[in-house]
Amino acid sequence: MPKKSFVTSMPDKAGTFLRASQIIASHEGNIVRVSYNKAVDLHMLFIDVQASAERLLQIQSALTSIGYVQDRIAPTRVIEVSVKIPEKPGAVLPVLEVLNHHKINISYMNSCADGRPYEDFKFGLLIEDPHMIKILLDDISNIYPVNIIECENSEENLDNTVFYIRLANEIQELLGLSTDQTMQFISESNRVLQVLQSEGEDAGKVFAYIRRFALHVSHYRGDNYKTTTQKIKLSDSVTLYSISPYCGSNTYLFVSADEITLVDTGYALYAEELQEILQHLVPTWEHIHKKIYITHADVDHIGLLSKWNDAHIYVNQKSAENFRRQTEHQPDFREQTELHMGYSRLSQIISGYSPPTQENLHIIDTDTPQEHEHLLQIGRMQVGDISFEILEGSGGHLFGEMIYVSRETGIILSGDILVNISGFSKERAEFNVLAPFLMKSVNVNSKRAREMRNEVIALCNEISTTNKKPCLLCGGHGPLSKLISGEMTLWQ
> 195 in helix, strand or coil?
helix
Average pLDDT for 29-53: 80
If one compares 18 and 434, the residue with the highest pLDDT of the two is 434
pLDDT value of residue 152:
44
User: pLDDT at residue 151 above 60?
Assistant: no
- The Cα–Cα gap between 271 and 149 comes to 43
Report residue 43's pLDDT band, with 50, 70 and 90 as the boundaries. Answer: low
Does residue 242 carry a pLDDT above 60? yes
Angle 394-339-9 from CA coordinates, rounded to 5°: 150
CA dist 416 and 296 (Å) reads: 8
pLDDT at residue 212, rounded to an integer: 93
Has residue 460 got a pLDDT over 50?
yes
Give the contacts of 75 (CB within 8 A, at least 6 positions apart).
Answer: 128, 169
CB 41 within 8 A of CB 164: yes
Helix or strand or coil: residue 444? Answer: coil
Contacts of 142 (CB under 8 A, 6+ apart): none
Q: How far apart are CA 405 and CA 263, in angstroms?
A: 12
For the cut 50, the answer to whether the pLDDT of residue 91 exceeds it is yes
Contact 392, 382 (CB under 8 A): no
Name the CATH topology of 77-157.
VC0802-like (3.30.2130)
Worst-scoring range by mean pLDDT, 173-177, 226-230, 238-242, 289-293? 173-177
Confidence of residue 298 (pLDDT cuts 50, 70, 90): very high
Residue 158: which pLDDT band, with cuts at 50, 70 and 90? very low
Question: How sure is the predictor about 84, in pLDDT bands with cuts at 50, 70 and 90?
Answer: confident
Contact 221, 178 (CB under 8 A): no
pLDDT higher for 14 or 299?
299
Alpha carbon separation from 245 to 229, 266, 338 (Å, rounded): 9, 8, 29
**Helical packing angle, 338-351 and 203-219, nearest 10°:** 30
Q: Which helix (H) or strand (E) holds 292?
A: strand 289-293
SS3 376: strand
CATH code, 226-490: 3.60.15.10
Residues 465-475, mean pLDDT to the nearest whole number: 95
Distance from the first to the final alpha carbon of the chain: 53
- 74, 354, 418, 487 from 421: Cα distances, Å: 41, 28, 9, 12
- The Cα-based distances of 205 to 107, 187, 439 in angstroms read 19, 17, 14
Give the strands of the sheet with 386-392, arranged side by side. 376-383, 386-392, 402-406, 411-415, 472-475, 481-484, 487-490
Q: Where are the domains of the chain?
A: 3-65, 77-157, 162-219, 226-490
pLDDT in tens, 179-206: 788 888 988 998 998 899 888 898 889 9
3-state percent breakdown (helix, strand, coil) of the chain, nearest 5: 40, 25, 35
* Pairing of the two strands 376-383 and 251-255: unpaired
DSSP conformation class of 69 = B
What is the three-class DSSP state of 492?
Answer: coil
Q: Which of 441, 475, 435, 436 is nearest to 351 (CA)?
A: 435
Whole-angstrom Cα distance, residue 213 to residue 101?
Answer: 39
Q: What is the DSSP string of 222-251?
A: GGG--EEEEEEE-SSS-EEEEEEESSS--E
Identify the bridge partners of residue 89 per DSSP, sorted by sequence position.
none
pLDDT for res 114: 65
Tell me how far CA of residue 296 lies from CA of 282, 312, 326, in angstroms.
25, 17, 14
Residue 36's pLDDT band (cuts 50, 70, 90): confident
Which class in CATH covers the domain with range 3-65? alpha beta
SS3 9: strand
Mean pLDDT over 85-91 rounds to 84
In the chain, the percentage of residues whose pLDDT exceeds 90 is 58
73 pLDDT more than 50: yes
Do 77-157 and 3-65 have the same topology in CATH?
no
Do residues 338 and 191 make contact, with C-beta atoms less than 8 angstroms apart? yes
Residue 39 has pLDDT above 70, yes or no: no
When pLDDT is cut at 50, 70 and 90, the band that residue 299 belongs to is very high
pLDDT (mean) for 88-117: 81
* Stretch (H or E) spanning 454: helix 446-467
Entry pTM: 0.81
Which residues have CB under 8 Å from 296's CB, separation 6+? 319, 397, 398, 400, 401, 402, 415, 416, 476
pLDDT of residue 165: 64
How many C-beta atoms surround the C-beta of residue 357 within 10 A?
13
